[in-house]
Amino acid sequence: MSRIVRFRELGGPEVLKVNDMDVPAPGFGQACIDIKAIGVNRAEALFRRGVYIEQPILPAGLGLEAAGIVESVGDGVDGLVPGQSVSLIPPISMATSPTYGDRGLFPARMLVPNPPQLDVVGAAALWMAYLTAYGALVEIGRVRQGDVVAISAASSSVGLAAIQIANMLGARPVALTRTSRKIAALRDHGAADAIATDEGGVGGRLRAISGSVGVRVALDAVAGPLLAEIASAMASEGLILEYGGLSASPTLYPLDHALPAQIAIRGYLVHHVTGDPARLGRAKSFILQGLESGRLRPVVDRTFPLARIADAHRYLESGDQFGKIVVTT
């Protein structure tokens, strides 16, 4: 029997329960993984509440990231052997390949050897954050040396990954964070500048920081009124990538800024990378090179045991974390 997290109703962290369940033998193209660590993402909290882009079919599992040891493989699997240390490239659907548990079945094509620079906790914290940031800044944004890059929710795992990648590309990352409490830590982790958005005047401060060149690329997880503030500081033909909606306020299209500066505003998901083999191959090479050089390194805030999965979600939703929350089995 395995310990698998399930929820039978939509709601808060308290709906998450650890169940004893059987995990079947791997089928064609699958591998069974003895899961050691699980990366926790805000998408999973949204899925649990029923407000994610994918709807759960109750009772449901959840989870997008995991690292562990190959236990067994099904027919048609090459390149994976029992005992190998691997991690999961986030699947398109967490409903079909949930990771919250101490054992799971996954498509073998989405499993990769753990980088030697990382332990199993670091490996579980790697792929979602860095693939998301890579796709936005490299594949779509084409960030280059000297660009000013604005990054909201900068203390999240994606935000910190984006800061590291921007620095790796020779750009100037400007971190946006809700309060001043995390500003010093963001600067310590590579932000060239940092702005507390709750203090107001975000657009003016971004304009002062970016000067005449303006912000060329912005990676925004907040939306709401912050979008107009960011838009007011964008360079001509700049790009704003919206990948979340943390704000509870309506998000209005900032026509008065977008029109004269010819700003592009587009939605973005990590599926842009994970759903395309060529992009995914380039992303993996970039990230692994960054790990080898020491320019990229996941930031893990706290770990929780699987039995405290609800507490891990409560901490996620508190907004107090700096970096990734990881659950260990």
| Tens-place pLDDT, residues 121-148 | 999 999 999 999 999 999 999 999 999 9
pLDDT at 285: 97
Distances (CA, A) of 73 to 34, 81, 105: 12, 7, 9
Residue 15 is given by DSSP the state: G
| Tens-place pLDDT, residues 232-283 | 999 999 999 999 999 999 999 999 999 999 999 999 999 999 999 999 999 9
What is the pTM assigned to this prediction?
Answer: 0.95
Phi, psi of 300 (to 5 degrees): -105, 125
Q: Confidence band (pLDDT; 50, 70, 90) for 321?
A: very high
| Tens-place pLDDT, residues 104-118 | 999 999 999 999 999
pLDDT at 1: 86
For the chain, the average pLDDT equals 96
Residue 153 burial class via C-beta count within 10 angstroms: exposed 0-12, middle 13-18, buried 19 and up:
buried
Q: Confidence band (pLDDT; 50, 70, 90) for 92?
A: confident
Domains and CATH numbers, the chain: 2-126+298-328 (3.90.180.10), 130-271 (3.40.50.720)
Q: What is the DSSP string of 241-261?
A: EE-----SS-----HHHHHHH
Contact indicator for 25, 82 with CB cutoff of 8 Å: no
Beta-carbon count within 10 A of 119 CB: 13
pLDDT at 178: 95
Q: What is the DSSP string of 110-174?
A: GEEEPPTTS-HHHHHTTHHHHHHHHIIIIIIT---TT-EEEESSTTSHHHHHHHHHHHHTT-EEE
The answer on pLDDT for 103 being more than 90 is yes
| Tens-place pLDDT, residues 154-200 | 999 999 999 999 999 999 999 999 999 999 999 999 999 999 999 99
How many angstroms separate the CA atoms of 210 and 208, rounded? 6
Beta-carbon count within 10 A of 185 CB: 18
Three-state SS sequence of 189-221: CCCCEEEEHHHCCHHHHHHHHHHHHCEEEEEEC
